[in-house]
């Protein structure tokens, strides 16, 4: 069975014109450390290595997208077809990484390093943003308390503003009283981080299964009561986003602007909830695996879906991720909340 992928010209991607110089990324870091007597600790990867990881990440993501779309087709629902697609996907990823001079193990290790090092993550996201033109992902999750600093004057008056405030500022039932969006972003990041932790140890069944449980806990703690998450769950928080933004839109005083963007926000949030169910199903399979090889075969899919909680997915391969058609994630919900609030500002 042939696995169609994007043309080689797309997979190869020409990065030289898009990538900026090392100084563009190291200068802000140097500025942050200015005035400090102790020198900053150098990150474990060079800027060139981070840039190479971005290139590899985009190629691997394209392979995942193509393979996942193929796997979703009705004719490929048999166990044999699914196994063949998984095998071919692993082969293609290995070959693609080899063209970048990078083994699978090196790629996984560097992904983990980026996920657990704030400096590397900032460099990775900045380069990825320049290459793809997408906004920096998960900015709001980096400082959930700052997210609650949305001034009341920035929200529409009345119950419209009350419901929107529950999304972006504060809701009494969340563990830290933050809004549903910052809570969803925090839990999504924890799930993605522990999916990456699992991928770091593909030969250790117990480690993979432990981190699979942590992924489930961050997504839905009712299904895994203990773990490193906040105890609220990304899925529940995303549902709160959709519910309360729609409540805002149903208020008699809601403007056309609120009603339009509420649809976009709720749709993107519910796409994140759908991915949550998919990730839990995969994590359950990892927990049920009897060999490390069987569990490891599922890790790439788990990591990819968890990454999409925030970033969304370019399902139609048009080079952009929209809010609809199952593409949107928390980042798209965040973007449209910003558009909604900007549209409500008085001239």
Query: Domain segments of the chain: what residues?
Result: 9-31+45-133, 138-347
pLDDT of residue 27: 39
Residue pointed to by tokens 């290595």: 49
User: Do 56 and 45 touch, CB atoms closer than 8 A?
Assistant: no
How many Cβ atoms sit within 10 Å of the Cβ of residue 3? 16
pLDDT of residue 246: 95
pLDDT of residue 42: 54
Q: Which residues, other chains included, contact 268 with Cβ-Cβ below 8 Å and sequence gap of 6+?
A: 312, 323, 324, 328, 329, 330, 332, 333, 336
Q: Which residues, other chains included, contact 129 with Cβ-Cβ below 8 Å and sequence gap of 6+?
A: 135, 136
pLDDT of residue 286: 96
In tens digits, the chain (347 residues) has pLDDT values of 444 444 333 333 333 333 333 333 333 433 333 444 444 445 678 888 888 888 888 888 778 767 766 766 778 778 888 888 888 888 888 888 888 888 888 887 887 777 667 677 777 777 776 666 555 554 443 333 333 335 556 778 889 989 998 998 888 889 888 889 999 999 999 999 999 999 999 999 999 999 999 999 999 999 998 899 999 999 999 999 999 999 999 999 999 999 999 999 999 999 999 999 999 999 999 999 999 999 999 999 999 999 999 999 888 887 788 898 899 999 999 888 888 888 887 55
User: Do 223 and 280 touch, CB atoms closer than 8 A?
Assistant: yes
Taking the whole predicted model, whether its pTM rises above 0.75 is answered as no
pLDDT of residue 72: 67
pLDDT of residue 152: 56
pLDDT of residue 102: 87
pLDDT of residue 39: 44
pLDDT of residue 267: 96
């Amino acid at each position: 069975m042939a696995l169609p992928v994007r043309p080689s010209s797309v997979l190869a991607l020409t990065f030289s014109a898009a990538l900026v110089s090392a100084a563009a990324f190291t200068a802000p870091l140097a500025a942050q450390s200015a005035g400090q007597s102790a020198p900053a600790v150098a990150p474990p990867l060079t800027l060139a290595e981070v840039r190479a990881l971005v290139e590899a990440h985009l190629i691997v993501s394209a392979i995942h997208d193509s393979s996942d779309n193929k796997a979703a087709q009705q004719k490929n629902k048999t166990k044999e077809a699914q196994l063949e697609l998984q095998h071919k996907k692993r082969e293609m990823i290995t070959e693609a990484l080899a063209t970048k001079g990078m083994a699978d193990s090196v790629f996984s290790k560097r992904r983990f390093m980026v996920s657990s090092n704030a400096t590397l993550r900032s460099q990775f996201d900045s380069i990825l943003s320049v290459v793809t033109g997408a906004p920096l992902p998960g900015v709001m999750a980096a400082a959930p308390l700052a997210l609650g600093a949305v001034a009341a004057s920035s929200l529409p008056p009345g119950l419209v503003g009350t419901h929107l405030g529950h999304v972006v500022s504060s809701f009494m039932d969340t563990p830290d009283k933050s809004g549903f969006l910052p809570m969803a972003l925090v839990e999504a990041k924890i799930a993605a981080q522990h999916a990456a932790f699992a991928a770091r140890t593909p030969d250790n069944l117990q480690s993979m299964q432990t981190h699979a449980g942590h992924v489930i806990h961050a997504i839905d703690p009712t299904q895994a009561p203990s773990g490193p998450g906040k105890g609220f769950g990304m899925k529940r928080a995303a549902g709160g986003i959709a519910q309360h933004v729609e409540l805002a839109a149903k208020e008699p005083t809601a403007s056309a602007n609120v009603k339009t963007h509420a649809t976009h926000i709720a749709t993107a949030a519910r796409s994140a909830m759908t991915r949550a169910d998919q990730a839990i199903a995969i994590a359950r399979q990892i927990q049920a695996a009897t060999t490390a090889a069987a569990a490891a075969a599922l890790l790439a899919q788990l990591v990819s879906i968890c990454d999409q909680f925030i970033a969304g997915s370019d399902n139609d391969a048009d080079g952009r991720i929209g809010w609809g058609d199952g593409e949107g994630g928390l980042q798209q919900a965040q973007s449209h909340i910003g558009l909604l609030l900007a549209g409500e500002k008085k001239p």
